[in-house]
Amino acid sequence: MRILVIITCTFTSLFCCFSHAFLATSPPLLVGPISSTSTSSTRYYPFCSKNFPAIGTSSLKSSSNAADNNNNIDDSCDVLILGGGPAGCAIASLLGSNGKLDVVVANKDFDKDWVPNYGVWKDEWQTVLDEYKSFGIELDGGEFGRSVDREWDVTDCYFGGSFDIPTEKRMRLDRPYCRVDRFALKKSLTKNFRVVEANHMSNAIGINVYSPAGTLIHDEDGTTIQLQPKDADSSPITMRTKIVIDTTGHETKLVMKDNIEPYTQPGFQIAYGASVVVDETESTNLSKIGPYEKDAMTLFDYRTDHFDGNESETIKANKAPTFMYAMPLGGNRVFFEETSLVARPAVSFQECKDRCFKRLKHHGIVVTKIEEEEFCYIPMGGALPARDQRILGLGGAATMVHPSTGYHICRCLMGASSVAKVIQEELALEQPNIDRAVASSYDALWSPGNIRQRNFATFGGEFLMKQNVVGLRGFFDGFFKLPLELWGGFLAGWPGLAYNENHESWEKRIWFGLNFIVKLPLPVAADMFLSIVSYSLTENFSLIQSVTPLLGDPPSYKYKRNMDSIGDVAAKEEAVGMIRQSNADVAEMPTEVAITAEKTKDVEIVEST
Ligand SMILES: Cc1cc2nc3c(=O)[nH]c(=O)nc-3n(C[C@H](O)[C@H](O)[C@H](O)COP(=O)(O)OP(=O)(O)OC[C@H]3O[C@@H](n4cnc5c(N)ncnc54)[C@H](O)[C@@H]3O)c2cc1C
Ligand SMILES: *[C@@H]1O[C@H](CO)[C@@H](O)[C@H](O)[C@H]1NC(C)=O
Ligand SMILES: *[C@@H]1O[C@H](CO)[C@@H](O)[C@H](O)[C@H]1NC(C)=O
Ligand SMILES: *[C@@H]1O[C@H](CO)[C@@H](O)[C@H](O)[C@H]1NC(C)=O
């Protein structure tokens, strides 16, 4: 037994991580025309943003690896983050928070503002704030503090116009909603890292294989990647790092999606949003703008009575539903957004814009100025990242968007914290295993339990995509009649967020489902029942797996060392023993056994000294 253990250890050093395999077949590293004077690793520091001076430069030496001796390396770091959106800035500031890692964000547009008006539930946002505080990162700023610029105590919905719900009827949810101050959030998350104003230029063409050849190469200790600086005439920067995290968004070119497991095509959330100023001189009640109260967030206005009298428009609005999402911003300013929740193919932006202004006109809302426009395009659902890849995806790049609502920001920020813990821990080891670090990070994001929960929500997205406006009004009217902890958990859909504990096990999800279906209008309930049956038959039982103990867990992302090269150690041991004691003239030793014999000899020598 003891020998067996020692043999296994000796063998360990012989194991190649899978990266070696393709390293051997990759063409040599292509290096641009970098002169010998450009090899200093400090040369590219001018690319650091002025506001966020290089920190932790002393830890550069920690990126010790063979490639450091290579004259072709321009810069090196412990972790390289590609992309400077919420996912990129979040993971970078978390990783750098313990002062031990040299973290670089590469993005040639780092200075550009973030675009989306992120809307969040106040209690979900609080769980994010608490999590970041535990890393010493304070999300602050914004008019209301906490990187929030607007806050509403209540959230309103309108589902009237079908199932005997009167058109004017308002459903009020007693749950506060906030608008994230995207400028304050970016500022809060721009700490603890360096910025290199350059983009990656590779495309994954297979797992861990990239084109153009030589722009991205993995090896046992890390990755060498070429980055194109903002200035197109500059030659590429060759960056050496231990781990690459891709946060370049939904349509990443580096993170391969898993198309072995059954998956559905993504759907798309499309919305036309506008921050507007309205004329209130004719207003009879200054606490409202049209039907929308200034002290409330309007999450859903799914009514279609503004199309009454126009048959073709009514039919279109019925078949491809959109709703109004309205954030009163104080005084006579409002952010209106006409939104298609999820559709495949996507609804047109022009259609959303036309419907937005038609609805406002119907409500007697007179827009005098458009201050800002937002074109929201969010791929939802689709395949998860493939397993065994060395590039770690995060945020949109790791398909972390809620597959039936499009909510992402809180999920992405919470996921970043799980990943940061894994990576900080692995890189603190004397001999970090990069494959394990990446695999464990993926597992921290998409644990089998979380995949099961996602599969449940993916069914929700597929169901919503099939509904006309009547179905959607019925669906959400029933949904919000559930207790808050049930609907809140469904909307969260990510470990650690408020109320998610009510959706984390199959028992809880089936409980949710049973409670929900009885709250639905009969035709919607019947449709849902049929959809469950047909979906279960066509989609590899992922739905059944998510609401029953049957069918086990989806495959995990956990790191598994490739054990094939060990073979059956006990059998080989036995052969070695028998051959040594053999009296035959010739005792044939198979290659595999010969290697084991070699090793046991080592062991015996070791033991005798
Ligand atoms: C208009 C809009 C409104 C939204 N509203 C909400 C909302 O209200 N609530 C919510 O929860 N979610 C919302 N979302 C969804 C989600 O939060 C966003 O999609 C979110 O910005 C995704 O974050 P991310 O960091 O993963 O990617 P992104 O924010 O898309 O960031 C990608 C980054 O990668 C960079 N990049 C691209 N290519 C390269 C390259 N080759 N090399 C280096 N860098 C590169 C880009 O410049 C960018 O900095 C909204 C999305 C949109 C588009
Ligand atoms: C204005 O609207 C608010 C909110 O609906 C209502 O409480 C108030 O009574 C209205 N005031 C007038 C003068 O109608
Ligand atoms: C209905 O609306 C369309 C524009 O969407 C318009 O072209 C058409 O004339 C309208 N029909 C009627 C009867 O008002
Ligand atoms: C399961 O998925 C595979 C691959 O996508 C597909 O070929 C097969 O038909 C699916 N099975 C069921 C029962 O849906």
Tokens 């998409």 correspond to 446
Q: What are phi and psi of 204, to 5 degrees?
A: -75, 130
Structure tokens that stand for 92 in this block = 């970078």
Residue 81 lies in a domain: no
Lowest mean pLDDT among 5-19, 307-321, 498-512: 5-19
Q: Cα(48) to centroid of ligand 2, in Å?
A: 54
pLDDT in the model for residue 374? 94
Task: Give the pLDDT confidence of 471-494 residue by residue, as tens digits.
Answer: 999 999 999 999 999 999 999 999
Q: Please return the burial class of 29, using the count of CB atoms within 10 Å of its CB with bins 0-12, 13-18 and 19+.
A: middle
Residues 210, 588: Cα–Cα separation, whole Å: 44
Q: Given phi > 0 = left and psi -120 to 50 = alpha, else beta, which region is 567?
A: left
Rounded percentage of the chain residues whose pLDDT exceeds 90? 63
pLDDT in the model for residue 260? 66
234 and 182 in contact (C-beta within 8 Å)? Answer: no
- Residue 69, pLDDT > 60, answer no
Residue 245 lies in a domain: no
Q: Cα(595) to centroid of ligand 1, in Å?
A: 52
Of 526, 547, 568, the one marking the end of a domain is 547
Structure tokens that stand for 476 in this block = 């959400």
Q: Cα(423) to centroid of ligand 1, in Å?
A: 23
Q: Cα(101) to centroid of ligand 1, in Å?
A: 25
Q: Is the CB of residue 106 below 6 angstroms from any atom belonging to ligand 1?
A: yes
pLDDT in the model for residue 600? 66
Ligand closest to 285 (CA) is: 2
Q: Is the CB of residue 350 below 6 angstroms from any atom belonging to ligand 3?
A: no
Question: 385: which DSSP letter?
Answer: B
- Ligand 2 atom closest to Cα of 285? 1
CB-based contacts of 183, cutoff 8 Å, min separation 6? 113, 114, 141
Question: 257: which DSSP letter?
Answer: B
| Test site for ligand 2: of 152, 285, 298, most ligand atoms within 8 A of the Cβ | 285
Q: Is the CB of residue 313 below 6 angstroms from any atom belonging to ligand 3?
A: yes
- Residue 314, pLDDT > 80, answer yes
Q: Cα(310) to centroid of ligand 3, in Å?
A: 6
Task: Give the pLDDT confidence of 282-297 residue by residue, as tens digits.
Answer: 888 999 999 999 999 9
pLDDT band at residue 271, thresholds of 50, 70 and 90?
A: very high
Residues 462 and 373 in one domain: no
- Residue 37, pLDDT > 60, answer no
Rounded percentage of the chain residues whose pLDDT exceeds 70? 85
pLDDT in the model for residue 584? 84
Of the candidates 355, 376, 364, the one whose C-alpha atom is nearest the C-alpha of residue 301 is: 355
The partner residues of 227 in beta bridges, in order of sequence, read: 200, 237
Q: How far apart are the first and last CA of the chain?
A: 19
Q: Cα(181) to centroid of ligand 2, in Å?
A: 29
Residue 580 lies in a domain: no
The partner residues of 210 in beta bridges, in order of sequence, read: 204
Question: 17: which DSSP letter?
Answer: P
Task: Give the pLDDT confidence of 127-163 residue by residue, as tens digits.
Answer: 999 999 999 999 999 999 999 999 999 999 999 999 9
pLDDT in the model for residue 513? 87
Q: Please return the burial class of 567, using the count of CB atoms within 10 Å of its CB with bins 0-12, 13-18 and 19+.
A: middle
Ligand closest to 314 (CA) is: 3
Q: Is the CB of residue 62 below 6 angstroms from any atom belonging to ligand 1?
A: no
Q: Which residue has the higher pLDDT, 545 or 66?
A: 545
Q: Which residue has a Cα nearest atom 6 of ligand 4?
A: 262
Residues 376 and 457 in one domain: no
Residues 296 and 374 in one domain: yes
Q: Is the CB of residue 536 below 6 angstroms from any atom belonging to ligand 4?
A: no
- Residue 29, pLDDT > 50, answer no
Residue 367 lies in a domain: yes
Domain range for 294: 267-380
Residues 599, 8: Cα–Cα separation, whole Å: 10
Asked whether the bond before 321 is cis by omega within 30 degrees of 0, the reply is no
Q: Cα(287) to centroid of ligand 2, in Å?
A: 7
538 and 530 in contact (C-beta within 8 Å)? Answer: no
CA dihedral 442, 446, 448, 451 (to 10 degrees): -150
Q: Cα(522) to centroid of ligand 2, in Å?
A: 35
Residue 193 lies in a domain: no
Q: Cα(384) to centroid of ligand 4, in Å?
A: 16
pLDDT in the model for residue 567? 80
Calculate mean pLDDT across residues 80-99.
Answer: 97
Of 339, 359, 380, the one marking the end of a domain is 380
- Residue 353, pLDDT > 90, answer yes
Residues 322, 87: Cα–Cα separation, whole Å: 28
pLDDT band at residue 397, thresholds of 50, 70 and 90?
A: very high
Element (H, E) at 357: helix 349-362
pLDDT band at residue 45, thresholds of 50, 70 and 90?
A: very low
Residue 252 lies in a domain: no
| Test site for ligand 2: of 287, 288, 294, most ligand atoms within 8 A of the Cβ | 287
Of the candidates 189, 194, 227, the one whose C-alpha atom is nearest the C-alpha of residue 57 is: 194
Residue 49 lies in a domain: no
270 and 376 in contact (C-beta within 8 Å)? Answer: yes
Q: Which residue has a Cα nearest atom 13 of ligand 3?
A: 310
Q: Which residue has a Cα nearest atom 5 of ligand 3?
A: 313
Residue type, 358: K
- Residue 255, pLDDT > 50, answer yes
Calculate mean pLDDT across residues 310-326.
Answer: 94
Calculate mean pLDDT across residues 255-266.
Answer: 78
pLDDT in the model for residue 33? 31
Report the predicted TM-score, pTM, of the whole model to 2 decimal places: 0.84
Instruction: Give the chain's mean pLDDT.
Output: 85
Calculate mean pLDDT across residues 371-394.
Answer: 94
- Residue 51, pLDDT > 70, answer no
pLDDT in the model for residue 606? 37
Task: Give the pLDDT confidence of 173-222 residue by residue, as tens digits.
Answer: 999 999 999 999 999 999 999 999 999 999 999 999 999 999 999 999 99
Q: Is the CB of residue 145 below 6 angstroms from any atom belonging to ligand 1?
A: no
Q: What is the CA radius of gyration of the chain?
A: 28
Ligand closest to 291 (CA) is: 2
Residues 376 and 452 in one domain: no
Q: Is the CB of residue 538 below 6 angstroms from any atom belonging to ligand 4?
A: yes
Task: Give the pLDDT confidence of 220-238 residue by residue, as tens digits.
Answer: 999 999 999 988 888 999 9
CB-based contacts of 570, cutoff 8 Å, min separation 6? 4
pLDDT in the model for residue 262? 61
Ligand closest to 380 (CA) is: 1
Q: How many CB atoms lie within 10 A of CB 500?
A: 24
Q: What is the domain-level CATH number for residue 293?
A: 3.30.70
Residues 365 and 283 in one domain: yes
Residues 368 and 463 in one domain: no
- Residue 102, pLDDT > 90, answer yes
Total domain count for the chain? 2
- Ligand 2 atom closest to Cα of 286? 1
pLDDT band at residue 539, thresholds of 50, 70 and 90?
A: low
β-strand 171-173 against 154-158: which pairing, if any? antiparallel
pLDDT band at residue 265, thresholds of 50, 70 and 90?
A: confident
Residue 340 lies in a domain: yes
Of the candidates 522, 507, 241, the one whose C-alpha atom is nearest the C-alpha of residue 390 is: 241
CA dihedral 257, 261, 263, 269 (to 10 degrees): -40
Of 365, 380, 395, the one marking the end of a domain is 380
| Test site for ligand 3: of 307, 310, 352, 355, most ligand atoms within 8 A of the Cβ | 310
pLDDT in the model for residue 75? 95
Calculate mean pLDDT across residues 311-334.
Answer: 94
- Residue 537, pLDDT > 90, answer no
